[in-house]
Amino acid sequence: MPARWGSSCAVNHEEAGTPMPLRNTSVGRPAAGGARACVCTAPVGVEIIARSRVMRRSVPPLPGTEPSGGCSPDGVSVRWGMTDAGNGSGQGGTHAGVGTYYAQDREHDRLTRGLGLIEFTRTLELLGLLLPPCPAVIADIGAGTGVYARELLNAGYEVHALDAMPGHVARLRVDPTLDRLSSVTLGDARTLPYPDGSVDAALLLGPLYHLTDPRDRARALAEAARVLRPGGVVLAAAITRAADIAGDFTKEDSALDEAYARPIREHTYRTGVHRNPERRRGHFTDAYFHHPHELAGELTGAGFRDVSVYAVEGPAALLRDPDAAMRDPQRREGVLRALRLTERDPALLGISPHLLAAGVRT
């Protein structure tokens, strides 16, 4: 039988160089009588996202899952709200520029403003739609500074966080809002330390960005499949080929060095491989940018079934002032409703800077 929800282990596995078994330290501990309890607390802003979930009850979930953002202490299903932000990398041994980029610590608050806030809000909506109900065990692979892990903990999930960046892992270990994480690991998405069939959902909200070799992306997805139980869900984020183009369209002319940006943009669109050779600020690091059909094909090739691809920001990528759109409640709701309406339209997937692909382990 696969290891699951094991007992605490006295061995310091990180120092011993052996994989740390998954263990339940605080979230979803068995309640009296043996039932697993949901111990979440509703975060700030959760009511707004909960209302958006009610509007989406007609959206079919992935087969074998139920739409849920977790459960509140009174048993009412809720979605988590918005706190701080930052996503991360889940692999080492890629290009040196990746480590340099994340060492600048620019990702920690990126999702609290502008188009990043729309990305964050929409990602939370899609997690609430596609994840299994709590209590469930989630591997957050490429956890960054813990923005999504924090919300998952608040929703009642057991979360194991892994990231390839030492600075991110250091933050995860000292942040008091993340002290309920069941494990924090400095590791690689291509060689996960978790036992076979030990988690209910695997999040890759960043690792596929930085694996420019398709063989490495296949390894990361195969590892996610290995650690998932049968019927478990993988949710993998990707950046689209047109992301640079849309991003440059919305920049002020004074902020765009066309002579530097043009060859990067054109090479990225033609090959999918994005480079920032001079490591200039304002430009992303080494990465792979997907066509929507490529992302779906990679999940299918890894053995996942019922694969679906969702636009995250969708056409909101062309907003000149996304902050203004998100500040005004009526306009914000109008934007989010439009993005929900178009999130699976094949004709519009490529305009979204980010995609989220979902698949079920066979």
What pLDDT was estimated at residue 62? 38
Question: Which H or E run includes 361?
Answer: strand 354-361
Mean pLDDT of 1-20: 32
| Region at 272 (left for phi over 0; alpha for psi -120 to 50; beta for the rest) | left
pLDDT of 169 strictly over 50: yes
Domain boundaries, the chain: 38-361
pLDDT of 313 strictly over 70: yes
The answer to whether residues 236 and 242 touch, using CB atoms and an 8 Å cutoff, is no
What pLDDT was estimated at residue 71? 40
Mean pLDDT of 316-325: 91
pLDDT of 21 strictly over 50: no
The answer to whether residues 286 and 276 touch, using CB atoms and an 8 Å cutoff, is yes
pLDDT of 226 strictly over 50: yes
What pLDDT was estimated at residue 96? 52
Query: Which of 110, 173, 133 is CA-nearest to residue 28?
Result: 133
147-155 vs 114-130: helix crossing angle, rounded to 10: 40
Q: pLDDT digits over 44-61, tens only?
A: 334 433 444 455 544 433
Greater pLDDT, 244 or 158: 158
Count CA within 13 A, CB hemisphere, residue 204.
Answer: 35
The answer to whether residues 86 and 78 touch, using CB atoms and an 8 Å cutoff, is no
What pLDDT was estimated at residue 107? 62
Pick from 23-32, 43-52, 314-323, 341-350 the range whose average pLDDT is largest. Answer: 341-350
Residue 81: other Cβ atoms inside 10 A = 20
The answer to whether residues 129 and 56 touch, using CB atoms and an 8 Å cutoff, is yes
Q: pLDDT digits over 252-280, tens only?
A: 554 557 777 788 888 888 888 888 766 66
Q: pLDDT digits over 99-134, tens only?
A: 555 555 566 678 888 999 999 999 999 999 999 998
Residue 251: partners with Cβ closer than 8 Å, 6 or more residues away: none
**306 falls in which pLDDT band (50, 70, 90)?**
very high
pLDDT of 324 strictly over 50: yes
How many angstroms separate the CA atoms of 75 and 79, rounded? Answer: 12
pLDDT of 38 strictly over 50: no
pLDDT of 225 strictly over 90: yes
Pick from 41-55, 60-74, 302-316 the range whose average pLDDT is largest. Answer: 302-316
What is the fold, at CATH topology level, of the domain defined by 38-361?
A: Rossmann fold (3.40.50)
What pLDDT was estimated at residue 9? 32
What pLDDT was estimated at residue 265? 82
Lowest mean pLDDT among 33-42, 82-91, 122-131, 177-186: 33-42
What pLDDT was estimated at residue 281? 63
Mean pLDDT of the residues in the chain: 75
pLDDT of 351 strictly over 60: yes
Residue 281: other Cβ atoms inside 10 A = 9
